[in-house]
Structure 1
Amino acid sequence: MSNFLNQRSRATLVSSFFLFLILLGCILWPWFCAALIWQKSTINYPIISLSNHTRMKIPAIIHQTWRDENTIPSNWQQASNTCRSLHPNYEYRFWTDAAGRRLIEKEFPCLLSTYDSYPYDIQRADVIRLIVLYVFGGIYLDLDVICLKPLDQLREYEFILPKTMPAGLSNDVIIAQPKHPFLLQLLNNLPKANRNYLTKYATVMFSTGPMYITHEASNYVNHSSIDVLSQDLYGKYTHNSTRSLFKHLKASSWHGNDAALVKWIYRRRIILLLLLAVSVASALALIYLEVISGSSAEANKEKAKDSSNTAGERVGAGIDYVKDKCEEAGHAASKEVNKQKAIH
């Protein structure tokens, strides 16, 4: 009974350990990919410099999006008003989820099934900003972005993305001319990136968010047409900079924390891979020991069975021997009795 319990305990231990390895691999795999992608994003994109604008390539349109017009948080509405007041001659377009979907249905019907399949609203918001910029061009701003200065000087570039921390590109501010080929690449590759990465954060980041943007930018052939808004102009990670064009309410500050985790994993990737290798080796060793232990137990069982059979045969032989001797003694006694009777 104790041997059975020991074998069962070992089997449970091995199974639990393998389940742990599978779970660990599923959790770490997206972040290893993220770390590698962000490492690639250190490509030296052109950093914009502010100068007197001469030729405007970007239309004077500000785009913003939210699920509807009635549920915008008041502080976000105030942030939006700062951008509108600094650009009185700009066209302002506010896109609800319903309006964005109609635009996709009209301009990119092939993306409609992908758009509808997204489990999170933020994914649809990420796609809407790409669609409106591809169709109309202009300046897209998240609602939690406060404008500190006019953005006219940025309109002489073709495509601008901000540099985020600790690495990579963000999508809360995008400035683009209409029909830019990088926007087309982003839209065309959305179906391939539409996967579930176990957690909401990873799923959003890899399928439509900054990680998706960074990955596509790293693979984009014409890097020179993508300009990067430096961190001092971006203003998200600088304080009291006189050069900042924006101030951020940081409604998505979770991005920075998780990005730091990705960077931490990348810096320790060798150690983590070694730990994973040791864990796999340990699991294989446990399986080997379990197999050897099982084989030994089976062999001992067969040996005990053979010994039992041998002992049984010996006992049977002894009984037969005694029986034969008893019969011989009985025959001898009968002969002696008959002999005595004959004498008398």
Structure 2
Amino acid sequence: MDFPRRGGGKKLILTIFSLSLLVVLLIRQRHASQEFLFQGDLFESLQVIDDCPTNNGNINSTQLASQHGSNNNIPNTIHQVWKTKNVETYVTEFGPSHESWKGMFEPFGYTVKLWTDDDVLQLITTTYPWLLSTYLAYSYDIQRADLARLAIIHAEGGIYADLDVYPRNVTDTECVQRLGLQAVFAPTQTAHIGLSNHFFMAVQGSPFLLWALQEAKRRAVSPSMRVLLPYLRVLWTSGPLMVTGAARQYVWVNDAGTRLDVGVLDEEKYRRRVLGHATGRSWHGPDGVFLNLVADHPVKAVLVGVGALVVALGVVFHVRRRFHLRRRHQLALGK
């Protein structure tokens, strides 16, 4: 058996140490990015929808209609975005949801509209020229898709649903549209204290969506130095972290001591009555896969990490011990 030369053990230790630091950095990056979510309870300032209608203190549909105008309804249009008209190229566990939305909602007078990359580019070029440079400069297609959905709903109003979001009930969805709110979002799946952008609805010209678009442009030119990983950078510049950050700013600027006319679906009591989410994660790179594994299975991830570190240290100890034994043997023979 060939034993490592002097310094081989140190190199191995350095490698193990570097890998350990990388794991710590990945986990730290996820927590650092989520600090934008954990600064206070955002939902205390929003309309939390746990039934429709209800008078339980969270939301009162009659009062909202009076405050914000009973005709301030969200249009019966469902918008989805894909590269081309061929949604079958979208990969998800249950297949793209486009036909599901059409089959369930079109009989009730809804329009289900699919936007392609060319459609989105034309919309931004003609209606949002101030966003065009941001849209074109993004490094990832998912960032353009994130910006596109906000622009589409702001321009036309209606409902946005990712192709891995599936409808469950027309009546419950329509009821949310008629609450008199300017915008309603699904909650984030982790922590349940942020706003997600895989499903949301808004009136045409929603002030909050305009605010979010402006925030997306700002973040595109001044990225956070704390968010190093591509996955987290996407979330922070255009995804749920950006939307949640925009909501916090919007709440702070417009705080009048009452809940604003922006709603969020209660995860347990109402979101599941409106939609199902297959969580395709088709755009995630290795960093996103790892961070979602940690988020989905935190205990298992820690145990696996600790186990791997113990095994690695055991290997280092064994190699170093064999190396020193051999050196002693060689020195003894030399004498």
TM-score (norm 1): 0.61
**Aligned mates of 2:120, 2:96 — CA distance in 1:** 23
- Which residue is 1:34 aligned to? 33
Counterpart amino acid of 2:242? Y
Instruction: Give, in angstroms, the shift of residue 35 of structure 1.
Output: 2.8
Please, which of 142, 145, 169 is the counterpart of residue 148 of structure 1?
Answer: 169
- Which residue is 2:52 aligned to? 50
Please say if 1:76 is aligned against 2:97.
yes
- Which residue is 1:214 aligned to? 244
**Aligned mates of 1:75, 1:62 — CA distance in 2:** 14
**Aligned mates of 2:112, 2:71 — CA distance in 1:** 18
Partner SS, residue 196 of structure 2: coil
Compared CA separation, residues 219 and 21, structure 1 to 2 (3 A): farther
Instruction: Give, in angstroms, the shift of residue 229 of structure 1.
Output: 0.8
**Aligned mates of 1:125, 1:256 — CA distance in 2:** 20
Compared CA separation, residues 75 and 129, structure 1 to 2 (3 A): closer
**Aligned mates of 1:30, 1:198 — CA distance in 2:** 7
Mapping of residues 191-340 of structure 1, within 5 Å: 191-194=217-220, 195=223, 197-220=227-250, 221=252, 222=254, 224-231=260-267, 232-235=269-272, 244-252=273-281, 258=291, 261=294
Partner SS, residue 40 of structure 1: coil
Instruction: Give, in angstroms, the shift of residue 25 of structure 1.
Output: 7.5
Please say if 1:183 is aligned against 2:182.
no
Please say if 1:159 is aligned against 2:161.
no
Compared CA separation, residues 233 and 258, structure 1 to 2 (3 A): farther
Compared CA separation, residues 215 and 86, structure 1 to 2 (3 A): farther
**Aligned mates of 1:191, 1:26 — CA distance in 2:** 27
Q: Using CA pairs below 8 Å that are at least 6 residues apart, which structure has the higher relative contact order?
A: 2
Partner SS, residue 148 of structure 2: helix
Please, which of 81, 96, 103 is the counterpart of residue 123 of structure 2?
Answer: 103
Partner SS, residue 250 of structure 1: coil
> Number of aligned pairs?
255
Compared CA separation, residues 264 and 249, structure 1 to 2 (3 A): closer
Partner SS, residue 35 of structure 2: helix
**Aligned mates of 1:63, 1:226 — CA distance in 2:** 19
Which segment drifts farther, 10-19 or 61-70? 10-19
Instruction: Give, in angstroms, the shift of residue 23 of structure 1.
Output: 5.3
**Aligned mates of 1:259, 1:121 — CA distance in 2:** 20
Compared CA separation, residues 230 and 25, structure 1 to 2 (3 A): same
Instruction: Tell me if the contact between 1:41 and 1:214 (Cα under 8 Å) persists in the aligned partners.
Output: no
Instruction: Give, in angstroms, the shift of residue 193 of structure 1.
Output: 2.0
**Aligned mates of 2:238, 2:203 — CA distance in 1:** 20
Counterpart amino acid of 1:245? V
Instruction: Tell me if the contact between 2:96 and 2:163 (Cα under 8 Å) persists in the aligned partners.
Output: no
Partner SS, residue 79 of structure 1: helix
**Aligned mates of 1:11, 1:251 — CA distance in 2:** 42
Counterpart amino acid of 1:139? I
Compared CA separation, residues 174 and 77, structure 1 to 2 (3 A): closer
Which segment drifts farther, 104-113 or 142-151? 142-151
Instruction: Tell me if the contact between 2:181 and 2:263 (Cα under 8 Å) persists in the aligned partners.
Output: yes
Sequence identity (%): 26
* Structure number with larger C-alpha Rg: 1
Instruction: Give, in angstroms, the shift of residue 125 of structure 1.
Output: 1.1
Q: Would you tell me which structure has more helix in proportion to its own residues?
A: 1
Counterpart amino acid of 2:246? E
Instruction: Give, in angstroms, the shift of residue 153 of structure 1.
Output: 1.2
**Aligned mates of 2:10, 2:218 — CA distance in 1:** 40
Instruction: Give, in angstroms, the shift of residue 84 of structure 1.
Output: 3.1
**Aligned mates of 1:98, 1:39 — CA distance in 2:** 37
Instruction: Give, in angstroms, the shift of residue 172 of structure 1.
Output: 1.1
- Which residue is 1:285 aligned to? none
**Aligned mates of 2:41, 2:160 — CA distance in 1:** 24
